[in-house]
Structure 1
């Protein structure tokens, strides 16, 4: 199955954030929404719900956990227990609710910048404080700073907020690093909360490993928060799962108020069940092939038109982390790009101090839009 992006006129009919934040003369490649049609099984599930008026409250018993468990088995050779899962509105809400249970007010939570900007706010919302341990740039990629993380744990951090695959770099953390992190967390009694929202978008050769599948230590200390929303473009429908693999962590998630689960959106749940079904596998495989082509096209376009750009092809997702420092466009080049090239990218400094001179670009679009965006940006270099 080939998954092809909608045309620009079709996309302009959408009313979501991506297509309403900026005027029509701006190409929006900033927020993490994609430009593809819905998977057929998802469309069918939502259409059927509208037809029969299935728009009420989420039921106390649903097939969501079993659907995700089957998906995880097929896609990752992982067998999480549906009985150890609870749903909620989205990954961010799951993160906050878990952090509230595993930290004390004013406690420290490790984050690994450059990282998804809301992480900083989520830690504060949970009543804790952010402790930054940046990723290490190896020159060929990024990896966790395990020495720095150990120091943070020794200094009293009670949790770490992991991003696997990582946003914005697209890094799939290798199994060995995750296992080492799990051992450190077990040694110091630290909770690992793993945001795995981009996991379905890991390219096959990246060898993605869910944190809870890494080791016994990981299962003891870890919480995964997962969703179909990024891969299947369902963010507005509100559905995520908190997944655990031990008696201790399962008890923490079970202790959350029932309202945390009731905030799950009915349409989000129905769409997620369809997305996680075997019927959607061919669509997801097609999407991965399209994104593979786009991530490589972006490399070619940047090499040709903006040779000062530094970009590593990501392991997962549809987000490109691009260093434009050599172009001399300042610490926040996305501002100049928006003003002069009419292309909206995510501001690099929002991801942490390490984002100075960087932008995040969403290549989950058509080759035509991607090409036009880079060609527009290149006009700045000729001014």
Structure 2
């Protein structure tokens, strides 16, 4: 019998009520007071995908809660990458399991850079890029995105030059797809990255945690499939696409010329992921595709709904339509709200300033404050639209009323 067509009733984003979501004990739902609608941290308002829930239930029923073993996770990712992205050269023997993507990034940096070396990032970018790189004893150099929010080759080359001059073994930490802008890098853009990295002697590490979340109309290109990326690394996980942040497990993948470097990763790093995490991520990649398709349909609908809501309630805000992820980058500079924080005070992920603080205080909607994403982020907010259309509609309506009140009081 043919599978039924996707319907609104089966959209994972519509299956939980606000009351049910408020029973959760994760950071998204416990950081703020109960009257706040939390659209900030990258957690989705969905139940577990049935194949993932089944795998976990079976493990619990069997008492299968020991140490992880084998290559099933890498095999499942390889199968998924071939089906979804046409990545047929994926090598299971060029992978290793790591606790999560950012810990994997740090461990790879330890393999291919030295303390004090420079790591280039394209700002505004995921705030832990700054914190994790700095805490690992490396120096961050920014290559700001262009006005179109895409990588700027001129800025990138200048940053690569600076990085090369700063230390012996620099690196480029790529966000692919890009968080917070939702840009999905095109193959020709990634080819430019590879050419520039080779010219200036940088190793590329690509964070591809959002790769399964490329929305209709765009295609994801794994960095390791690009000519010139043979000595690079990628970090992948089912964490974002199947909402598994609490079940730690990710994979570091090496290009053919980087496999020997990856083989030097200390064995104890692979002890960090949990066995249940490995089982969950394996099930997601191997049999979670139909659920993911329903989610992507729902996210595509929310992406369009958000555009309409912003136009209606926040006409002074610019909505940059994301190509991937479930994150919207909203330009609130037209609201005339003071942005950022005093110079010399480092921003952390929990900091709120400017529009994000106003929306929390006056609208009771929690968003991520743009200034923590680095240069180019002040005056922006990041909104997580992986929620129900009802919650999204109420949140943006609240934001519109808060802006009206702010403008009236100004």
Give TM-score, length-normalised by structure 2.
Answer: 0.90
- Alignment partners' CA distance in 2, 1:132 and 1:221: 22
- Alignment partners' CA distance in 2, 1:204 and 1:77: 16
Q: Per-residue displacement from partner, 1:218-245 (whole Å, max 9, x unpaired)?
A: 1x23100000000000001101000112
1:233 to 235, 240, 243: 243
1:73 match: 82
- Alignment partners' CA distance in 1, 2:140 and 2:255: 26
2:304 match: 296
Q: Does the alignment pair 1:271 with 2:280?
A: yes
Structure 1 regions of 5+ residues with no counterpart? none
2:167 match: none
2:386 to 364, 369, 373: 364
Q: Per-residue displacement from partner, 1:136-190 (whole Å, max 9, x unpaired)?
A: 113xxx2212122222222344100000000000000111010011011122221
Shift of 1:48: 0.7
1:311 match: 319
1:325 match: 333
- Alignment partners' CA distance in 1, 2:46 and 2:109: 34
Q: Per-residue displacement from partner, 1:277-328 (whole Å, max 9, x unpaired)?
A: 1x31111111000000001100100000110010111000110000111112
**What RMSD, in angstroms, separates the aligned Cα atoms of the two structures?**
1.1
- Alignment partners' CA distance in 1, 2:163 and 2:29: 43
- Alignment partners' CA distance in 2, 1:173 and 1:25: 37
2:356 to 334, 341, 345: 334
Q: Is the 8 A contact 2:40 2:384 kept in 1?
A: yes
Q: Does the alignment pair 1:41 with 2:51?
A: yes
1:53 match: 63
1:152 match: 159
Aligned length: 375
Q: Is the 8 A contact 1:96 1:125 kept in 2?
A: no
1:1-383 counterparts in 2 under 5 A?
1=6, 2-5=10-13, 6-59=16-69, 61-79=70-88, 80-138=90-148, 142-157=149-164, 158-215=170-227, 217-218=228-229, 220-246=230-256, 248-277=257-286, 279-331=287-339, 332-383=354-405
Q: Per-residue displacement from partner, 1:110-154 (whole Å, max 9, x unpaired)?
A: 00011000000111122210001111113xxx2212122222222
- Alignment partners' CA distance in 2, 1:31 and 1:381: 22
Q: Is the 8 A contact 1:160 1:190 kept in 2?
A: yes
Give TM-score, length-normalised by structure 1.
Answer: 0.96
Structure 2 regions of 5+ residues with no counterpart? 1-5, 165-169, 340-353, 406-410
- Alignment partners' CA distance in 2, 1:299 and 1:255: 47
More helix by share: 1
Q: Is the 8 A contact 2:141 2:163 kept in 1?
A: no
Shift of 1:353: 2.9
Shift of 1:103: 1.2
